[in-house]
């Protein structure tokens, strides 16, 4: 047996504080609370009943009515917010459904606000990709590229409608240059100074978006590498974060989360505004698939993943596992 005599080891025993679950809870350095979590949800125009998404077990395309019920459950378990995405029946090149007051995302935002009042933060997606027939996040130029500055005008118009519908924050996810500053200026001129902007400040062009694209029935052909962040680059991501803060972002977000925890940590170290991270569809689907095979414990993997994102420095985590995590944490 090791001796505890002076000068001999181990005299310092860190394992003492790991001996029981109660001790481990007492000294835990990082904690996930349900109020840290934001639930993305999909609402499809014309749907009669919720439709399961094959690549994301437990996640559905919702009707407006079922989204309202989901919102009630979200309030009950104490999560922090909802992030709705709209799936229209018809799409066109300019994404006109995004700025239709009776379009699915505006209708959903109004319905959720009516249902939850101020009990949850409402963060509808400020982007065109779900509404365009080409699947890109912006307006096409004559040469087929995405016209950055023309897209800013569409975002501003869309943002005004979502603000009118009751959004607390707009999830600015398009990665267009200047989007935060332009939308902020238009909102302010319209008197919408209380509507905040959650900037997808470092949104990487990732291989992990596949299940999301199934969920929104994306029309994308090709990729978004000319505007989303390039995976090898970290300094550039920090520059993007700094630009969004300077333009007036209220929260900055890194997406995806787990492959980019270094970027989450960098954002947390320098950002004067809260930092969020998006535990995206592919990250969630990996856990589900491995758990279905019996290779991992789903509950433990969900909580470990969310804890690692919080430990890296994110104060807010958007995750499809928000409801189940809140129940586990309770």
What amino acid positions are annotated as catalytic residues? 203, 255
Phi/psi of residue 94, nearest 5 degrees: -95, -5
Bridge partner residues of 319 (DSSP): 279
* Contact between residue 204 and residue 241 where contact means Cβ atoms under 8 Å apart: no
CA angle 15, 21, 23 (to 5 degrees): 55
* Contact between residue 39 and residue 80 where contact means Cβ atoms under 8 Å apart: no
Pairing of strands 316-319, 37-44: parallel
> Rounded to whole angstroms, how far apart are CA atoms 95 and 129?
7
**3-class SS at 231?**
coil
Of the candidates 47, 133, 46, the residue with the CA atom closest to the CA atom of residue 93: 133
E-assigned strands of the chain? Answer: 37-44, 51-52, 60-62, 81-87, 121-122, 125-126, 139-140, 146-147, 169-172, 196-203, 251-255, 275-279, 316-319
- Radius of gyration in angstroms for the set of CA atoms belonging to the chain, rounded to a whole number: 21
* Contact between residue 302 and residue 329 where contact means Cβ atoms under 8 Å apart: no
Of the candidates 253, 169, 259, the residue with the CA atom closest to the CA atom of residue 209: 259
Give me 259's structure tokens. Answer: 């492959």
């Amino acid at each position: 047996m090791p001796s505890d005599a002076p000068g001999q080891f181990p005299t310092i025993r860190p394992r003492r504080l790991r001996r029981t679950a109660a001790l481990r809870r007492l000294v835990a350095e990082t904690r996930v609370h349900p109020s840290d979590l934001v639930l993305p949800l999909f609402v499809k125009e014309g749907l009669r009943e919720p439709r399961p998404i094959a690549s994301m077990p437990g996640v559905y395309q919702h009707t407006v009515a079922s989204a309202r019920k989901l919102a009630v459950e979200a309030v009950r378990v104490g999560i922090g917010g909802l992030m709705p995405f709209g799936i229209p029946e018809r799409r066109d090149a300019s994404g006109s459904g995004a700025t239709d007051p009776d379009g699915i995302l505006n209708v959903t935002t109004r319905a959720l606000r009516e249902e939850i009042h101020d009990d949850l933060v409402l963060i509808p997606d400020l982007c065109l990709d779900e509404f365009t027939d080409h699947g890109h996040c912006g307006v096409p130029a004559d040469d087929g590229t995405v016209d950055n500055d023309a897209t800013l005008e569409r975002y501003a118009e869309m943002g005004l409608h979502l603000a009118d519908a009751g959004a607390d924050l707009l999830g600015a996810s398009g990665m267009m240059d200047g989007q935060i500053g332009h939308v902020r200026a238009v909102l302010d001129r319209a008197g919408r100074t209380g509507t905040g902007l959650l900037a997808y400040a470092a949104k990487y062009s990732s291989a992990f978006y596949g299940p999301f694209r199934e969920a929104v029935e994306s029309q994308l052909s090709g990729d978004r590498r000319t505007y989303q962040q390039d995976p090898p680059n970290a300094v550039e991501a920090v520059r993007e974060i700094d630009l969004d803060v300077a333009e007036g972002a209220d929260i900055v977000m890194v997406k995806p989360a787990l492959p980019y925890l270094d970027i989450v940590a960098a954002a947390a170290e320098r950002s004067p505004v809260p930092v969020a991270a998006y535990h995206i569809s592919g990250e969630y689907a990996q856990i589900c698939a491995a758990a279905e095979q019996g290779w991992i414990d789903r509950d433990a993997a969900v909580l470990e993943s969310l804890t690692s994102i919080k430990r890296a420095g994110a104060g807010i985590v958007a995750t499809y596992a928000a409801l189940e995590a809140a129940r586990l944490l309770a």
